[in-house]
Amino acid sequence: MNNLKKKKNIKLLQGNEACAEGALLAGVKFFAGYPITPSSEIAENMARKLPKIGGKFIQMEDEIASMAAVIGASIAGLKSLTATSGPGMCLKQENLGFAIINEIPCVVVNAQRGGPSTGLPTKPSQGDMMQARWGTHGDHPIIALAPSTVNEILTLTIKAFNFSEKYRTPVILLLDEVIAHMREKVEIPAPENIEVINRKKPTVPPEEYLPFKPDEDGVPPMANFGEGYRYHITGLIHNYKGLPTSNSQEIDAFIRRLHNKIQKNIKDIIIYEKYSLDDAKIALIAYGSVARAAERTVKLAREEGLKVGLLKLLTIWPFPFEEVNRLAQQVDLIIVPEMNLGQIVLEAERAAQGKCRVVPYGRVDGELINPIEILGKIWEEIRK
């Protein structure tokens, strides 16, 4: 009746709260976790809200168990989430690999704090970017997203669930302490305005179901346990039936398919934003909370007559190789500010293929990089 005048749902939300809201909008029904700063508010929100919608929350004995429970719940049919920070992320790696090899949809949030080890529990860092890519052993693909505003935390959490269901893969959402704890105005979209993707179900009867035989898109349809399809799931490399194999052709095809189902869809998966790049001669590449400092730097630099632009990465893995490569052909210099001593800058350098200079700007004192220091770095490089 009054659809046109529907009131917008605007709230001041903490980053972690927005993550929980996004997950609920995406259809999350299960959360397992272990308390750790600066991610605990996600668990607290889930503990409060999941039972209201008939979902389940469980606080497990550690992060290894949390990751296992999340995978178990997903196999039994519920969209599942866990959230942690560096020390807990280390423990998640074991079963993250299990989720990858068995193509189990789930979302893992890492609200990054300073490391290594216990590091800086209450201070931000972007030190886990490479861990997100290669943290679990074996040659595997991964999808990792990095929002830079509270609003993006909400939208990218939904995206993370959608990617995980569509491509049958765990998806890592990389926050940092700044945006995890920051509060900002968020417009919570109405459920009818959100695209929610659910896993493909088998269309064949149980006796014909091959649980790991891919469709043309490289993704096998997934039957949930208890739905009449009895099959085996194993952390061993397996054949179409899901049974362990030592056939080298099957092994090769399996590992390649895992990679290809992501690689073939990078157009869908890779998300980024461009700021003032059209005429830029110097580009900043940034992500997470640092991207917001960089955005400000662009304005400051332009006031000083410098043609600076920003490529803000929202998808970190797979890395937007093509986009960075094109950018390197356009600009003379790429600066990658990040709260580590050079992680994503290595990928940027690889993607630039020597077509322009690529330099890091790192800060590791537990404080967010500020726009002035990035501007200082730009001038320093110009004067070189």
Contact footprint for another protein (CB under 8 A): 10-12, 29-30, 32, 48-49, 51-52, 54, 56, 58, 60-62, 64-66, 68-78, 80, 94-95, 98, 121-123, 178, 181-185, 225-236, 243-244, 289, 292-293, 295-296, 299, 368, 370-372
Minimum CB separation of residue 142 from another protein in Å reads 18
Q: How far is the CB of 93 from another protein (least distance, A)?
A: 11
Shortest Cβ distance from residue 141 to another protein (Å)?
Answer: 19
CA distances from 108 to 83, 173, 214 (A): 6, 6, 24
Q: What residues contact 75, with CB distance under 8 A and at least 6 apart?
A: 104, 224, 225, 233
**Main-chain phi, psi angles of 204, to 5 degrees:** -100, 160
The residue whose two tokens read 């210099």 is 333
Q: Which is nearer to another protein, 158 or 352 (CB)?
A: 158
* Token pair listed for 324: 């960075």
- Give the contacts of 303 (CB within 8 A, at least 6 positions apart): none
- The CA distance from 220 to 199, in Å, is 10
- Residue 138 to residues 35, 305, 346: CA-CA distances in angstroms? 28, 48, 21
User: Taking Cα atoms as reference points, which of 282, 293, 332, 340 lies closest to residue 316?
Assistant: 340
Structure tokens at 155: 């939208």
Residue (300 or 346) nearer to another protein, CB: 300
Q: What is the residue type of 40?
A: S
- Kindly report the three-state secondary structure assignment for every residue of 351-371: HHCCCCEEEEEECCCCCCCCH
Closest contact distance (angstroms) between CB of 349 and another protein is 26
Cβ atoms of 47 and 220 closer than 8 Å: no
Radius of gyration of the chain (CA): 21
Q: How far is the CB of 75 from another protein (least distance, A)?
A: 6
Q: Going by C-beta distance under 8 Å and a sequence separation of 6 or more, which residues neighbour residue 50? A: 28, 29, 30, 31, 56, 57
The least CB distance from residue 46 to another protein, in Å, is 12
- Min separation Cβ 314 and another protein, Å: 16
CB of 79 to another protein, least distance (A): 10
